A and B are shown apart, each in its own frame.
Chain A
Amino acid sequence: MFKPGNWQNAIDVRDFVLKNVRPYDGDGSFLCEPTQRTKDLWQICLDAISQERANNGVLGIDNQVISSAVSHAAGYISKDKEIIVGLQTDQLLKRAMKPFGGYAVVEKACEEHGVEVAEDVKNVFKYAKTHNDGVFDVYTPEIRLFRSLGILTGLPDNYARGRIIGDYRRLALYGTAKLIEAKKSDLLGLTGPMTDERIRLREEVADQIKALSHLKELGDIYGLDLSRPAQTAQEAVQWVYMAYLAAVKEQDGAAMSLGNVSSFLDVYIENDIEKGLITEEYAQELIDQFVMKLRMVRHLRMEAYNEIFAGDPTWVTEAIGGKLADGRHKVTKTSFRFLQTLYNLGPSPEPNMTILWSKDLPEGFKKFCAQVSIDTSSIQYENDDLMQCTRHSDDYGIACCVSFQEIGKQIQFFGARTNLAKTLLLAINGGRCELSGKQVLNNIPALKSDVLDFDEVMTNFRLAMKEVARIYNESMNIIHYMHDKYYYEKMQMALVDTNPKINLAYGAAGLSIVADSLSAIRHAKVTVVRNESGVSSEFLIDGDFPCYGNDDDRVDVFAKDIPAYFNGLLKELKTYKNAEPTLSILTITSNVVYGQKTGATPDGRAHGVPFAPGANPMHGRDKSGAIASLSSVSKIDYRESLDGISNTFSIVPKTLGATKEQRQENLVSIMDGYFTKDAHHLNVNVLNRELLEDAMNHPEHYPQLTIRVSGYAVNFVRLTRAQQQDVIARSFFETI
């Protein structure tokens, strides 16, 4: 029934897609509205979500059982209406304990919601060690200091690292029997000499094989025979979801992307439609119900987690569109069907739908995407042409927010981020922290004058970056060593090639502050004001200086050069498992907490003012309109920040044009222009500031209001007040 190929002889999903995909050049006019069953189910979900919000963000916690693929009985929303089944626990939105990342965190999360961990489980962790225990056994005093002062923030040392994407399509194409067979054959081939690496890999593959048999058992719980390949469209969707479900039952990684399943599923759907087995309405129902399930994924988090990952995100990131290496595009009718869920079920942050944009995508799809952005502000865009020519794969997904990951061939070690703005202050303060006065770095000479000299500051800044890179690298190696040891992602890794390529995903925050600060020091006269203990408390600026975000090379050059320099430093350092270092310019929502932890900076920013998110220019300083701002960001070189460069763009609908057609066309032109300039990523929000202000005051009226923040989307009403204020303070491009 499918075109033959290498996929029949080896585990090779890409080949299956390549041989069978049916690119679609038309528009969205074929799409269907939701069925009554879908509407009924979604109403139950909406009610549960509203109860969840009323109950301090958590509807229920299972405090009895440690979650695994097979820990819970079958759960349903309303069994007779579901054509795609499976929940993480036996009840909708009930959260499960996954304590191997860190037991204390789970205990705290339970406590914050008035629940006590069952004695049985407590007892286990009197003996069992977790990832968190391992990391803190080994952390050096330097790393601890960097962490507590906010130079390194959000490190995955007390929660699961996530970022790994299992190739969930494999279950549908092959079934567990064949997957187990392939892994067993891999294990047989992993012969001596028995070095550390080889022993570790053998143990990992053995764990993966066990995970696959758990996956089959999970199917049994729901009455599904997952040992064999999926035969129909319904089974293909169900199988893919079961594989993903097993992963999110076992792991609570910060971001657990779905991959790029839509065009794969399209093959089965179009096949069934062609044979007359299903209708378009049913095809849409399959995707609506699948997406509904993805929207219901929850993890148990403690409240402090919200500071860096606001709004309870899960990053079920699905990459849609893009091109094949042979020149065809990969937009299918199911690409449209996924986006259509934003109408059928309303806007939503999850799944985190990401359009892989190529200038060669069909016009009908481009315009449809633009309209979805205008209507829902729920989707983001990444530059497929740029990633394909840089990363050399046409079968990739987006890990977490913005990061390229070849599906089934490659994984990532998540590295959170370091604070470059604070690093600049270390350079100005002789290596001392500007807030605590503590000596952090020992190799930074004191500045000769309080009037900042550009060359002197740059020399110190380079020294500081080098030390920060060293300590950052050490923390990463420790974290990922321990995560592998105590909380190995056996289910996801069972769906990835044995011994895949690994990226070590470092991150940097505060780029716009660094760029503007260096511009101020170079183009104006900046004087440090020091407090009684001799560290900077504020900066006096005399004269004008160009700000990043106005398409002005005099300052944009710093935004381009600093990440490249820092990336170069990171590349020189040895990594655990020989992972290839990459760098992101991304903040998630930690831009607010970074602001609190960073004193006044030479660009005139006061202590406490939130950073701009990701690679964005600072709020209100991009005064020449949206295109100039986008042009500035596009100058940051993706080749030096291969983990991704996140830009979040908010625009008032009217500014896009007077009519619906103009708005569509102009948004398409913006995207084409931005990506032609080799920019990497864009979050698009099309809304009015007044709407957000009203939502702050009347959250009950806006249960589904979705806004892109930094590589992901959130329900606006689930942000803290400070985060809401930060979002509202950002640049909204508006013309009168």
Chain B
Amino acid sequence: MLRVHSIESLGTYDGPGIRLVVFLQGCNFKCLYCANPDTIEFGSGSEMTPESILLMAQSQRPFFGKNGGITISGGEPLMQARELIPLFKMLRAHGFNTCIDTNGSILNEAVKELLQHTDLVLLDIKHVDAKKHKKLTGKANSRTLTLADYLAQQNVPTWIRYVLVPGYSDDEADLHGLGMRIAEMNNVKKLEIQPYHKLGVHKYEALGWEYQIPDVPSNTLEQLSKAKAIFENYVSEVIIN
């Protein structure tokens, strides 16, 4: 059984083509800017069997075209890596493209096995600097960087995702730092800059939580294109999502 927050059957931002995106419930990070805070707590959400997700994928296959498929996002999907293994095995057996969108903080035997059945990893690196990562997410970035190394070593196709938060993760030196690290990874095909937005703020109100960075403005176009230019020194394809 998987603990699911919600389903987005028209996913156009979480991997190539049109994708069935399953958002799992529960996250081990608590990012200051999280746009889906309702996915953080464990225990809520609803239970779904891998078979029912396979059924949806089969029904929706004609929409996937050449590039689309299934993406598991969250929350943090690797928290449920063990439960995902049978799903990914089935999906692969039926010829579906599989993708995981993760903060990269877990690497155990289940994750290693799951990655054998994964076509693409969307690796969210929240920050290259350990201290700033901790400030932003509440956790160290060492595990994420370990997984990055493992993905490179196993040559798992990977896209890096980076949320550009003004004042928190847009320091030029940090962007170069991250770029240099990624440049060494031959498995990285693409980097996606995720603009910072506040569209999730109303969810904090609904949860009775306080939004931690209310004064941070959205990115300017200049900030976004500057970050893009920096990353383009290190990665062949950089896009702004």
Contacts of A629 in B (CB 8 A): 9
Q: Does A195 touch B at the CB level, under 8 Å?
A: no
Stretch at the interface among A196-204, A293-301, A673-681: A673-681
B93 to chain A, nearest CB (A): 21
**A609 partner residues in chain B, CB cutoff 8 A:** none
Q: Which residues of A contact B62 (CB under 8 A)?
A: 672-674, 676-677
**How far does the alpha carbon of A676 sit from the alpha carbon of B65 in the complex, in Å?**
11
Q: Which of chain B's residues have a CB closer than 8 A to the CB of A735?
A: 8, 10-13
How far, in whole Å, are A625 and B68 apart by their CA atoms in the complex? 15
Does A736 contact B12, Cβ atoms closer than 8 Å? no
A628 B56 Cβ-Cβ under 8 A: yes
In the docked arrangement, what's the CA distance between A659 and B65, Å? 18
Best-buried of B8, B10, B11, B241 by chain A (most CB within 10 Å)? B10
Q: Is B17 an interface residue (CB 8 A)?
A: yes
Interface mask (A652-664 → B, CB under 8 Å = 1, otherwise 0): 0001111100100
Say whether, besides A669-B17, A669-B63, A625 and B8 are in contact (CB < 8 Å): yes
Q: Give the residues in chain A near B65, CB-CB below 8 Å.
A: 665, 669, 672-673
Q: Are B63 and A551 in contact (CB under 8 A)?
A: no
Asked if A656 contacts B9 (CB within 8 A), the reply is no
The residue that B7 contacts in the complex, of A624, A677, A733, with Cβ under 8 A, is A624
User: Does A569 have its Cβ within 8 Å of any Cβ on chain B?
Assistant: no
From A624, A627, A736, B35 is in contact (CB under 8 Å) with: A736
In Å, the complex CA distance between A626 and B10 comes to 6
Q: A658-B241, A669-B17, A673-B65 are in contact. Are A626 and B60 (CB under 8 A)?
A: no
Which residues of A sit under 8 angstroms from B200, Cβ to Cβ? Answer: 736
Is the beta-carbon distance between B18 and A666 smaller than 8 angstroms? yes
Q: Quick check: is B1 within 8 A (CB to CB) of the other chain?
A: no
Residues of chain B from 106 to 154 with CB closer than 8 A to chain A in the complex: none
B64 touches A551 (CB 8 A): no
Q: Is the CB of B9 within 8 A of A624?
A: yes
Task: Tell me which of A625, A662, A665 contacts B9 (CB under 8 A).
Answer: A625
B window 1-57: CB within 8 A of A: 6-13, 17-18, 20-21, 35-36, 56
- Contact mask for chain A residues 346-363; partner B; CB cutoff 8 A; 1 contact, 0 none: 000000000000000000
Give residues 420-456 of A contacting B (CB, 8 Å): none
Chain B residues with Cβ below 8 Å from A302 are none
Chain A residues lying within 8 Å of B63, measured Cβ to Cβ, are: 627, 630-631, 669-670, 672-674
Distance of A95 Cα from B156 Cα, bound (Å): 68
Contact residues in B for A662 (Cβ distance below 8 Å): 12
**A698 at interface, CB cutoff 8 A:** no
Q: Across the interface, which residues of A come within 8 angstroms of B7, CB to CB?
A: 550, 623-625, 628
Whether B240 sits at the interface, judged by CB under 8 Å, is yes
Question: Which of chain B's residues has its CB closest to A626's CB?
Answer: B10
- A residues in contact with B11, CB < 8 Å: 625, 735
Give B229-241 as 1s and 0s: 1 = Cβ < 8 Å from A's Cβ atoms. Answer: 0000000000111
Nearest chain B CB to A556 CB, angstrom units: 10
CA distance A137 to B98 in the complex (A): 66
Interface residues of A in 184-217 (CB under 8 A from B): none
Inter-chain contact A657/B12, CB cutoff 8 Å: yes
**Cβ A627 vs Cβ B199 within 8 A:** no
Q: Which residues of B (177-213) have their CB < 8 Å from a CB of A?
A: 197, 199-200
Contacts A624-B8, A674-B63, A676-B62; is A658 near B17 (CB within 8 Å)? no
**Chain B neighbourhood of A550, CB < 8 A:** 7
| B17–A655 touching, CB < 8 Å | no
Question: What are 19 A-to-B residue pairs whose CB atoms are below 8 Å?
Answer: A551-B9, A623-B7, A624-B7, A624-B8, A625-B10, A625-B21, A627-B20, A628-B9, A669-B18, A669-B63, A669-B68, A670-B63, A672-B65, A673-B62, A676-B62, A733-B10, A735-B8, A735-B13, A736-B35
Given contacts A625-B9, A627-B10, A658-B13, 17 further A-B contacts (CB under 8 A): A624-B6, A625-B21, A627-B18, A631-B59, A631-B60, A658-B241, A666-B12, A669-B17, A669-B64, A669-B65, A670-B10, A672-B63, A673-B18, A673-B63, A673-B64, A674-B63, A735-B10
